[in-house]
Amino acid sequence: EVQLVESGGDLVQPGGSLRLSCVASGFTFSTYWMHWVRQAPGTGLVCLALINTDGSSTKYADSVKGRFTISRDNAKDTLFLQINSLRPEDTARYYCATAAGHWGRGTLVTVSS
């Protein structure tokens, strides 16, 4: 069974940083492009970043470019999202997802003083 389990979400102050993780199982992680998507409370879905299979190519939404960094460790079947300079508008549930349509349950990031 395909599983994606996110972790690392927390309550942080504006300007803070977090590193989100997504552990994959049940499929060959190293052969899939991966995405991070977020959903602010009561709103829709926004793709933030994607990474190719070996991590050599990444792309970001304009709203997070320069603050967010996506990376992966294929040896550990794990996807990461480093989030810096957090703003209140970054408050959301963050999901990892495969290009094949599998999603984790998400991890909650709250940015507030």
Residue number, 59 or 87, with CB nearest to another protein: 59
At position 100, the amino acid (one-letter code) is A
Least separation in angstroms between residue 105's CB and another protein is: 5
Residues 55-74 interacting with another protein (rule: CB under 8 A): 59, 61
- Residue 9 found at the interface with another protein (CB under 8 A): no
Tokens in use for 83? 């989030």
Whole-number Å distance between alpha carbons of 25 and 3 = 5
Site string for another protein, 17-46 (x = CB under 8 A): ------------------x-x------xxx
Across the strands, what pairs with 2?
A: none
CB 28 within 8 A of CB 82: no
- Give dist(CA 59, CA 57) in Å, integer: 7
Number of residues that bind another protein (CB under 8 A): 17
Q: Is 91 in the site for another protein (CB under 8 A)?
A: no
Phi, psi of 90 (to 5 degrees): -85, -5
- Which spans of this chain sit near another protein (rule: CB under 8 A)? 35, 37, 44-47, 50, 59, 61, 95, 99, 101-106
